[in-house]
Chains A and B, each alone.
Chain A
Amino acid sequence: MLKKIFSAMLGFLLVFVLIGCQPTEVALPDLTGKSRAQITETLEGLNLSIKYYFDLSVIYDEESDYDKFVRYGKDENSVQLAVGDIVATKTEIKVYTTPLNITINYLYSLSDALSLHESDYTGKEFIADGIGEVTISKLVDGDTTFFQSDGQSYSVRYLGIDTPESTALYQAWGKAAATYTAEKLQSAEKIVLEAEGDRQDGNDRYLAWVWYLPEGGDKFLLLNLELVELAYSKNKVSTGSVYSDVLTLADWNASATKRRVWGEIDPNYDYSKEGTQMTIAFLMENFADYMGLKVAISGIVTAKIGNSVYLQDESGAGIYMYAGYTSSSQLQIGAHVAIDGLTPTVYSGSPQLTNFNRLNLSLVTESLIITPEVITYDDFIFTNIGKYVTMNQLTVTGVNTARTSIYVTDIEDHEFVIRIDDSTGFDADDLGVTVGQVLTVTGPLGYYDYDYNNVFEGYNHAPSKFQLMLTASDNIIIE
């Protein structure tokens, strides 16, 4: 009996001691180097609950940087918590981590019904049959490529995705997405396009799912899905598509990591709004260094093509500024304007400024007179592209079928093109241009290389691909 009483008392004592000893406060541990799973285990073990946040304020450039503890957040009294601080148990602790690791869950494990098989495309051609093997004709960006089949080249916009821009517009992660797409396509053993739904978009681009057989691989991979899984693109839900569900799941998983397009800083993107102030001459001399960044320039409008303009500084250096559908009444010929936040890019080998926003424009002076510089074929060098010039003694050797390209030779028989832009509303016939005539033409110096493959470094600007842009009908004199 006494033994039972003693045991009971001992039991009560133990319970009492245990309850009494359970801490009501704990010190925050050092979680450096810990992943979210480890952080959760550690803090829950201390009877704390956790609310996670991401620290997206710095660049993470090593794979080992991801899914790591950064710091504690503030408590409910707005006090910044740190390692060693004493907190009450059962409270919610805010924890900041780096973005998470990306996991590929679907790309390699698509069901048989969703996968591409050789029998699906053998003997078929994409344009005619909606599926077929193609080759690369020209790379554009992360979600658009020119492909070729059956002897014709055509632009293809990838279905179900929308990578950031890297051509006319320049957005964070756009160049990275373009580079990734290029690498996968260029190293592929085979590329197959598969149509679904509408064949073309409003810009006459074909729409397709893009399959590729990796070098040494035995299974086709769906590049559209891969770009979403790797957070190079957000998913655009294609209602009714057989791939909608898997793309939505991939998008969901990728967005939860906060990687790349979901919030991570792109180390190669200029997030500043104004950009670096510089002259057009300095920009042209150092163009490669500023590609994709932001610049602020000022210059006089020398010519207009639609909403877009050519700008020229006091030294005579010029550049084309692409405005797209953004019109501005301030951009009149002769106006001296200052524009911030422009992004230098290259289109078909020609330097240009993009990212124009009316909010960043200010008018310095109106109605200045521009005097063109007389140049010759020997002046067809990169730093002169965009300059407002006059060329004499140009003999017409032909006109293209659209009547918008006038082929000429100079007095030393160098051949090049005088280009009449579509937006002018006139053509060679309207101007009375015929073969054998000798012309004097004034306009901005342009450049166009259809085969330019979006790699500026190491690219040589061929004089034969320079063009003299005819933007007004009174800028041509037929002698």
Chain B
Amino acid sequence: MKKLLLSFVTLFLTFGILGCVTVGTTGEYVYVPEVMLTELPTEDVEVTFWHIYGEGKTAVLDTLIAEFEAMFPNVTITGTSQSDYTTLRSKINVGVSVGEVPTMALGYPDHYAGYVNAHAAVGLDPYINNTIEYTVDNPLSSINGQTITTSIDLTDFVPSYLAENNQYVGGYYFSVPFSKSTEVMAVNRTVLKQHITEIRALGITISDNGFLSHTVPLTYAQLEALTAILVNTSGTDVAAYKCQFLMNYDSNANLFINMSRQWNAPYTNSAGDILIDNDISRNMLKYINGLFGTNTLVLPTEWTQSYGSTNFIYGDVCMTVGSSAGYSYNVPTSEYKANLLKFGIFDVDFVQVPQMVLTDATDVAVTVDNAAVTVNGDLSAVQQGPNIGIFANATRAEKLYAWLFIKYLIEADNTAWWAMSTGYLPARLSAFTSDVPIAMTGTYSVTYSNFLQIAQDYWAADGDVDWLTTDERWDYLYSSMAANIAKNQNDFYEYDPAFSAGDNSAGSATAREEAGNCLDDIYNGTFSPTDSLNNMKSLLTW
């Protein structure tokens, strides 16, 4: 049996499916709704949960698992970290082919598109809409005698989070939002503070202590103007408070995709069409190439890094766009070698990601190859972060408890605690208004709204607050900043459609990867913008 299993796996790998596209298509999808159990199973149930969290996030997760197991003593939640999303997806793809998968797992929309396509993911609508009331009948349970339901109120979720999770087949949910994030821009306030008069002369709002607006994003036109003030292209000039580059963009793929939305440049659609062969995309890439040429924009490949955070901290670049969940990587601390920090431990602020325009469907003129081009722009910020779902070959009891565990994870107070502890964003709207204080340490409890208030108070005081050095608000200042910025731009969150590979084109995961490579190739001079786009097209369609 084991040999048979191994043969299947080897065969699977031999065909090169692993990790690059998705599990095989099984014909037109036929949705079969789950049949709900009418009573809570009392037998021993093990729910296996694959995630990618390290020690810190696992500790938070373990607390939630322990609370859930106290409610349902017959259930064991076994969490296993699979290191990273690439490994997680690869192992599930292998597992799907031989019917050996966890009960539930984290995953991006690209991942779940593949699982759905292979009939491996469970449609969650029956759980979401289930009207059965279950009575907990277990003297050992912390909620013994209570009545529970599996249903959740979808109106309590950020709408674009929901749309991301029901985009696969027929509008059904095959995953639900769990750990969400977006992109935010960290800025070196110490440098900005030295150029306040010049910056104000550009019409950009900046406070006396160098805070930019937290509700109105910078435009790319403003960034181009700021380059003349803040950049010294031959190298960071500490005495003049100038960096070598103005703005780093951590995710080259996000830059391509989000910029496409801001330019209204066709990229892909939910039908799986690759739409990049168009003049708007070509002009967009030429424009980005122009930004590369003036050191307005830089990619981590400049420093042969995957992220630009370290070089932001070193003072090579004045601003950097990255995940809101990774805000802490953009805050210089004394943990770094002092001689590498060109501006020392400088002040950091967080603002929204730059936009082409400040109002949807607005025209803006840009220069592309020395010619004026009009862009009809939209606001857009990337919506990212993993969702969570259940696999089809689990038993009905396992599926039911897996769903109840998911429901517990995304309860308002739990999603708020998870968000404040990890840097992610709450999945539910009610987390923002809950008045239940959440214990963050033995001496500090805070509601999510008061957590957001930390940065708001700091900004309102122009950074000049009278908090004691031992005030624990300091420990949450930067995460509060990132969370506020994320909240302020949630009106224009966008996500890219997830789809599996088709007969003539690649899947969305490959499209995203090649979008990033396309920009790296332009940055490194491997291809011109036009040739790089043609190369990308040739790699994604056949």
List residues of A whose CB falls within 8 A of some B CB: 53, 73-78, 94, 105, 162, 165, 169, 171, 198-200, 202, 234-237, 239, 244-245, 248-249, 251-253, 255-256, 262-263, 305-307, 324-325, 327-330, 332, 335, 357-359, 361-363, 366, 402, 422-425
Given A78-B74, A252-B91 in contact, is the A324-B335 Cβ separation under 8 Å? yes
Task: Name the B residues within 8 Å of A237 (CB-CB).
Answer: 19, 83-84, 86-87, 90
Contacts of B336 on A, CB cut-off 8 Å?
422-423
Q: Would you call B334 an interface residue if the criterion is a C-beta within 8 Å of the partner chain's C-beta atoms? A: yes
Residues of B within 8 A of A249 (CB): 6, 9-10, 13
A234-B333 CB under 8 A given contacts A330-B470, A363-B443, A424-B338:
no
Q: Given A202-B305, A330-B470, A423-B335, decide whether A359 and B46 contact each other with a Cβ distance below 8 A.
A: no
CB–CB B91/A236 < 8 A: no
Contact yes or no, B472 A423, CB < 8 A: no
Q: Is B370 an interface residue (CB 8 A)?
A: no
CB contacts under 8 Å to A, within B61-104, are 74, 78, 80-84, 86-87, 90-91, 94-95, 100
Q: How far is the CA of A332 from the CA of B470 in the complex (A)?
A: 7
14 new A-B contacts, CB < 8 A, other than A244-B18, A248-B87, A251-B87, are A74-B44, A234-B81, A234-B83, A249-B13, A252-B94, A253-B6, A329-B469, A335-B470, A357-B59, A362-B441, A363-B443, A366-B470, A423-B338, A425-B334
Please tell me if the beta carbons of B78 and A325 are within 8 angstroms of each other in the complex. no
Q: Does A248 contact B46, Cβ atoms closer than 8 Å?
A: no
User: What is the distance, in angstroms, from B187's C-beta to the closest C-beta of chain A?
Assistant: 20
Distance (Å) between the CB of A171 and the closest chain B CB?
A: 7
Q: Evaluate whether A235 and B83 lie within 8 angstroms (CB atoms) in the complex, with A249-B10, A332-B470 already known.
A: yes
Residues of B within 8 A of A171 (CB): 55
18 CB contacts below 8 A, A to B, read: A73-B44, A77-B42, A105-B6, A198-B304, A237-B83, A244-B19, A245-B13, A248-B87, A263-B78, A306-B335, A329-B474, A332-B469, A332-B470, A335-B470, A359-B441, A361-B441, A422-B336, A425-B334
Chain B residues near A165 (CB-CB < 8 A) = 55
Known: A248-B91, A252-B91, A359-B442. Is A325-B470 also a contact (CB below 8 A)? Answer: no
Interchain nearest-CB distance for B224 vs A (Å): 30
Q: Give which listed residue, B91, B94, B304, B442, contacts A200 with CB less than 8 A.
A: B304
Contact B305 A262 (CB under 8 A): no
Given A306-B334, A307-B335, A325-B328, A75 contacting B43 (CB threshold 8 A): yes
A53 contacts B91, CB within 8 Å?
no
Chain B, 17-54, contact with A by CB distance < 8 Å: what is the 0/1 string? 01110000000000000000000011110100000000
On whether the beta carbons of A425 and B18 are closer than 8 Å, the reply is: no
Q: Is the CB of A362 within 8 A of B335?
A: no
**Do the beta carbons of A239 and B86 come within 8 Å of each other?**
yes
Q: A248 and B469: CB pair below 8 A?
A: no
> With a CB–CB cut-off of 8 A, which chain A residues contact B442?
359, 361-362
Highest count of chain A CB atoms <10 Å: which of B91, B334, B440: B334
Among B6, B59, B95, B442, the one with the most A-chain Cβ atoms within 10 Å of its Cβ is B442
Contacts of B44 in A (CB 8 A): 53, 73-74, 78, 94
B141 to chain A, nearest CB (A): 12
Complexed CA–CA distance, A332 and B473 (Å): 15
Closest to A425 in B: B338
Chain B residues within an 8 Å CB radius of A78: 42-44, 74
Contact B13 A236 (CB under 8 A): no
Check B480 for interface membership: any CB of A closer than 8 A: no
Interface size on B, residues (CB 8 A): 55
The 8 Å CB contact of A329, one of B20, B59, B80, B471, is B471
Complex Cα distance, B46 from A366, in Å, reads: 47
**Chain A residues within 8 Å of B307, by CB:** 202
The answer to whether B84 touches A236, judged by C-beta atoms less than 8 angstroms apart, is yes
A-B contact count (CB 8 A): 135
Which residue of A has the minimal Cβ distance to B16? A245
**B residues 261-289 in Cβ contact with A at 8 Å:** none
Contact of A423 among B6, B18, B91, B334 (CB under 8 A): B334
Q: Report the minimum CB–CB distance from B350 to chain A (whole Å).
A: 17
Question: Which chain B positions have C-beta within 8 A of A94?
Answer: 43-44
Which 9 pairs show the lowest CB-CB distances between chains A and B? A423-B334, A306-B334, A78-B42, A329-B474, A237-B87, A422-B337, A362-B442, A306-B335, A237-B86
Please, which residues of chain B bring their CB within 8 A of the CB of A162? 83
| Contact B475 A328, beta carbon cutoff 8 Å | yes
**Residue B434 CB within 8 A of the other chain:** no
Minimal beta-carbon separation of A329 from chain B (angstroms): 4
* Contacting residues, chain A, for B91 (C-beta < 8 A): 248, 251-252, 255
Could you tell me if B472 and A330 are in contact, using CB atoms closer than 8 angstroms?
yes
Contacts of B306 in A (CB 8 A): 202
Partner of B90, one of A248, A335, A361: A248
Is B344 engaged at the interface, CB distance under 8 Å to the other chain?
yes
Q: For the complex, is B339 an interface residue (Cβ under 8 Å from A)?
A: yes
Pick the residue among B81, B304, B470 that contacts A363 (CB under 8 A).
Answer: B470
Q: Tell me, rounded to whole Å, the shortest Cβ–Cβ distance linking A27 to chain B.
A: 21
Q: B209-222 vs A: 1/0 string, CB under 8 Å?
A: 00000000000000
Distance in Å from the Cβ of B263 to the closest Cβ of chain A? 29
Nearest opposing residue in chain B for A402, CB measure: B339
B182 at the interface (CB under 8 A from A): no
> Please, which residues of chain B bring their CB within 8 A of the CB of A234?
81-83, 87
B310 within 8 A of partner (CB)? yes
| Contact present for B472 and A235 (CB under 8 Å) | no
Complex partner residue of B87 from A74, A105, A169, A236, CB under 8 angstroms: A236
Minimum CB–CB distance for A401 against chain B, Å: 12
Bound complex: CA A361 to CA B439 (Å): 13
Once bound together, how far apart are the Cα atoms of A285 and B304, in whole Å? 47
In the complex, are the beta carbons of A329 and B472 less than 8 A apart?
yes
A202–B305 CA distance with the chains assembled, in angstroms: 7
Interface residues of B in 333-392 (CB under 8 A from A): 333-339, 344-345
